[in-house]
Homo-oligomer: A and B are copies of this chain.
Amino acid sequence: MLNIAIAGLGTVGAGVVRLLKQNAGTISSRAGKAIKIKAVSARNKGKKRDCDLTGIDWAEKPQALAEMEDVDVIVELIGGGEGPAKQLAEAALKNGKHLITANKALIAAHGIELAKLAEASKVQIAYEAAVAGGIPVIKALREGLSGNSLTSVRGILNGTCNYILTRMREGGLDFKTALAEAQKLGYAEADPTADVDGHDSANKLAILAALTFGSKPDLASIRLEGIRHITPLDLQFADQLECRIKLLGVAKLTPMGLEQHVAPALIPKKSPLAHVNGPLNAVLMRGDFVGDVMLEGQGAGAEPTASAVVADIIDLARGRTTPAFGVPTKDLKTLPTARGSTKMRYYMRLQLMDKPGVVADISTVIGSEGISIESLIQRGKPSSGAVPVVVTTHEADMSAMHRAFEKISQIKAVGLHPCLMQIEE
């Protein structure tokens, strides 16, 4: 018998309770023992929930769960990188209880401290649900590809953004309309900032990068760009260039160190990431022996997330254990930040006033930064006075490209809201 306590009974918490009940037979067979929910805690005891809590103790404060003698595992589903979630996690580990969490912000910000506490108490931290919902990406990185020296990880880590970008392409919607649709369908929150500005993806990328490179999560070094400035026109141009636009989290090792960014990018249709549509998530890992491996599925939602939490519970029940970041904390590296050191191809979309000579001006700026143009596409006739033009470049230094883009943005005949994106390999 493995005794667990769950803190937080939102949709995911209720999903975990349902799943443990619904599949109890196969779960205890796979776990080698029965899983028993001893106690739960949530803010509002009276609230109607989509799960049966009969026979389960109720704790007024989550902290109380960490002090129950007959509880082996604390499942933290409160959320948030600080406050009660962090306090509970620390208390649980100090009291010698295993910690399972779906909390990306907590692991990205405090994963190392927690991992050290776990090592001191000889207990485990598991957080499959923190990244990409039900897709077993943490397990793939910590265990499945553990023989490899991994060189990069790329992910479509936010279903809200992927849904919005998919709808903008398929339906020709603008950002605001697609966002409103996503909100109506429950794919986006009333305040979409964390999703559409990339913060959610950044937390997940920090965790993936740590597992990929055996390094400490380094959220602060992630270059961050959201998707608010993408237009349906960009999605059409991308299609013409045999690409899709995705909000992509990328972490890769370069000779200068670790390069991490979350930004919208053009992905060639021949890449498997290009075909991940709607609210789906995917993670593409690259290893020296395995080559490229991609995992795809539902990255959010009560049931997929509960699937990941319960997989972690079964691992603990079976005694399958792994250091929090794949290796003991003493072996984790601190990698220098590489910024702008990798050469990439670029996409630049401009609205040009129909002035003779402006294309020449732009070409001159680009050339003066040592960048060479690969293609120049003009779309439509200059009816309203402004013509959308896209320039793609051969491989260019990020810093040089950003300087060129700044200068070009200031040319008078270049309209407002120009857009610069990387073209992923």
Residues of A in contact with B (beta carbons under 8 Å apart): 15, 19-20, 22-23, 26-27, 29-32, 128, 134-136, 139-140, 143-149, 214, 270, 272, 275-277, 287-298, 303-304, 306-311, 313-315, 318-322, 326-328, 331
**Residues of chain B with a CB closer than 8 A to A15's CB:** 289
Smallest CB separation, A151 vs chain B (Å)? 12
Q: Which of B31, B270, B289, B293 contacts A303 (CB 8 A)?
A: B289
The distance from the CB of A153 to the nearest CB of chain B, in whole angstroms, is 14
**How far is B26's CA from A159's CA once the two chains are assembled, in angstroms?**
33
Which of chain B's residues have a CB closer than 8 A to the CB of A26?
A: 149, 214, 327
A-B contact pairs, 11 of them (CB 8 A): A23-B149, A135-B293, A140-B144, A143-B311, A147-B313, A148-B307, A272-B275, A272-B296, A288-B303, A290-B298, A292-B297
Residues of chain B within 8 A of A140, CB atoms compared? 136, 139-140, 144, 295
Q: A136-B293, A291-B298 are in contact. Are A146 and B314 (CB under 8 A)?
A: yes
CA distance A43 to B146 in the complex (A): 30
A136 CA to B285 CA in the complex, in Å? 12
* Nearest chain B CB to A140 CB, angstrom units: 5
**Copies of this chain present:** 2
Whether B327 contacts A30 by the Cβ 8 Å rule is yes
With both beta carbons as reference points, the residue of chain B lying nearest to A15 in the complex is identified as: B289
Please tell me if the beta carbons of A320 and B143 are within 8 angstroms of each other in the complex. yes
Also in contact, A289 and B134, with CB within 8 A (given A30-B326, A319-B321) = yes
B297 x A147 contact (CB < 8 A) = no
Tell me if A297 and B307 are in contact (CB < 8 A). Answer: no
Which chain B positions have C-beta within 8 A of A319?
Answer: 319-321
Contacts A30-B327, A136-B140, A291-B303 aside, 5 further interface pairs with beta carbons under 8 A come to: A19-B147, A139-B140, A146-B311, A288-B303, A295-B295
- Kindly list chain B residues whose C-beta atoms are within 8 Å of the C-beta of A293: 134-136, 295-298
CA distance A118 to B398 in the complex (A): 55
Determine how close the nearest CB of chain B comes to the CB of A317; give it in whole angstroms: 10
**Once the chains are docked, how many angstroms separate the CA of A140 from the CA of B296?**
12
- Which B-chain residue is minimally distant from A295 (CB atoms)? B295
Query: Nearest Cβ distance between residue A155 and chain B, in whole angstroms?
Result: 14
* A29 and B304 contact, Cβ closer than 8 Å, known pairs A23-B288, A139-B144, A295-B295: no
Which chain B residues lie closer than 8 Å to A291 at the CB level?
134, 297-298, 303-304
Residues from chain B with a CB closer than 8 A to the CB of A147 are: 19-20, 23, 27, 306-307, 309-311, 313-314
- Closest B residue by C-beta to A150: B26
Q: Is the CB of A294 within 8 A of B292?
A: no
- Which B residues are in CB contact (< 8 Å) with A309? 147
Contacts of A148 in B (CB 8 A): 23, 307
Q: Which residue of B lies closest to A138 (CB)?
A: B144
Contact at A287–B315, with CB atoms within 8 Å?
no
The answer to whether B306 touches A134 (Cβ under 8 A) is: no
A328–B303 alpha-carbon span in the complex (Å): 26
Instruction: Tell me which residues across on chain B come within 8 A of A314, comparing CB atoms.
Output: 143, 146-147
Closest-by-CB residue of B relative to A304 is B290
Of the candidates B22, B139, B290, B307, the one whose C-beta lies within 8 Å of that of A134 is: B290
4 closest residue pairs by CB, A with B: A136-B144, A147-B310, A134-B290, A293-B297
Q: A134-B291, A311-B143 are in contact. Are A29 and B306 (CB under 8 A)?
A: no
